[in-house]
Amino acid sequence: MQLTVQGLKPVGMKGDFADIVIAGGGLPGALAALALTRARPDLRLLLIEPGYGSGDGRMWPFMLTDVPASERWLIEPMIDGAWRKYEVRFPRFMRVVGSPMRMMTRKAVDAALNEALPEGAVIGGVAVEGLDAGGVNLANGRRIHAKAVIDARRGRIFLHLSGGWRILYAQLIRFEGKHPFAHPLLLDARVSQRDGCRFMACIPITADTLLVRETVLSEDRDVDSAAMAARIGEYCRIANWQVAEVLHEQRAELPLVGAGDFDAFWASGEGGVARIGGWAGLFHPFTGDEIGPAVHTALALAELPELAEGEISGADLARATRRLAHEHWDASGLGRMLTRLMFSSASARRRYKIYEWIYRLDQPLIERIYAGALGWRDRVKVLIGKPPVPVSRMLAVAMGDSGSLAELDGGVLDGQGPDTGPQG
């Protein structure tokens, strides 16, 4: 059965009606829709995603250990690539890390939605104009009334938070011959750092196709895509890879949070509206990645007592998502410390050394850093692991000194938002 994009029929109200409307069908919104539909198939659930069914080719490589084993069942139908290890390369240090990686694609996510959600449950091809506790307004003038609204749009507004940006620009490239990669090269910092911290990644898709990506760490998210594309081309030329064609391009601007006021950040959103994904701060503060938090949040929403039976309350759902976001904030202190270390303690040209330091740690500890699952013993190991900054500065950062971190308040939230992009 194929999904249509017309949505639900009017049921005695002006416009359309649903029990729950999820605004935004990126990974957080899509996963929430899948989990909620499985838990409460009786609910009228509507997912609004401008890019649904567009075949836009987006890809999300991620570390499997970012998602606890007990929660992986939710994403298993959407896995479109798998590797048992990955590699990192620095000017004076290389390492193969025996941690598994996986790939999700927009095509696989849409297929999972098509399989699990009832006909008419997805509205595609139209942006969200605005929303409130009572429903969602679409850019085409349509109003969707709802008992509860979940805002899962890809946010650009991060008022009351400070840190930096992780800018990713990727090209899916087909080469004239076979490439040399059997597993991902997740981080290649041997490129020039003259203009600031940047590194390359190469994710093998087929024998002659790679996802080649440049990452830039910057206080400013306004990094030129054309310049990033040119550097990808130069990287391929230096490696003597003959490009046959560029199949797809994607860009992501991921916030990295070093400090902030959670209460003020949450209060900057619409009252009575539940929030998930980036707009709720549900991402890793040091990497910007959101797959792990998105899976956990989707399953937590499906298990809420407020949804177990009876009437749906938008206010209850809003309070529940705030509670989940606050728990994530409280558990992410070390990630914010690493971001402070990156942006307030290291010069732009030496920021890659923070990653080099991390990758000299034990593999299980590396996995827990990226999964945001560190215990107090891990925190001690990280703090005494000789980071590449002066001891006095390290102590100040550990005590919460945020130095001169940039405010993450650029841009305006919109229906489409930036591509969430690939991870790593």
Q: What is the predicted pLDDT for the residue at 312? A: 80
Task: For residues 407 and 404, give the distance between their C-alpha atoms in angstroms, rounded to a whole number.
Answer: 9
**Stated pTM of the model:** 0.90
Q: What is the predicted pLDDT for the residue at 55? A: 58
How many CA within 13 A on the CB side of residue 134? 4
- To the nearest 10°, report the CA torsion of 176, 178, 183, 184: -20
Q: What is the predicted pLDDT for the residue at 424? A: 46
Q: Which of 210, 228, 184 is nearest to 87 (CA)?
A: 184
- Helix H or strand E segment including 109: helix 106-116
Q: What is the predicted pLDDT for the residue at 310? A: 66
The runs of H, that is alpha helices, within 223-347 are 225-238, 262-267, 291-302, 305-308, 314-331, 333-344
Six-digit token string for 88? 């990192």
Q: Which of 306, 324, 410 is nearest to 28 (CA)?
A: 324
Q: What is the predicted pLDDT for the residue at 411? A: 54
Six-digit token string for 105? 């694609």
Contact status, residue 74 vs residue 298, Cβ threshold 8 Å: yes
Task: For residues 410 and 421, give the distance between their C-alpha atoms in angstroms, rounded to a whole number.
Answer: 18
3-state secondary structure of 383: helix
Q: What is the predicted pLDDT for the residue at 251? A: 92
Q: What is the predicted pLDDT for the residue at 56? A: 66
3-state secondary structure of 253: strand
Q: What is the predicted pLDDT for the residue at 374? A: 83
Task: For residues 19 and 40, give the distance between their C-alpha atoms in angstroms, rounded to a whole number.
Answer: 11
DSSP at 293: H
Q: What is the predicted pLDDT for the residue at 5? A: 37
Domains parsed from the chain with CATH numbers? 1-82+104-161+258-417 (3.50.50.60), 162-257 (3.30.70)
Q: What is the predicted pLDDT for the residue at 68? A: 95
Mean pLDDT by 10 residues, the chain (424 residues): 36 65 90 94 90 72 96 94 97 96 92 91 89 92 93 82 94 96 97 90 96 94 93 96 95 93 89 90 95 96 81 88 96 92 82 92 94 84 74 72 78 43 44
Task: For residues 62 and 103, give the distance between their C-alpha atoms in angstroms, rounded to a whole number.
Answer: 6
Task: For residues 310 and 150, give the distance between their C-alpha atoms in angstroms, rounded to a whole number.
Answer: 19
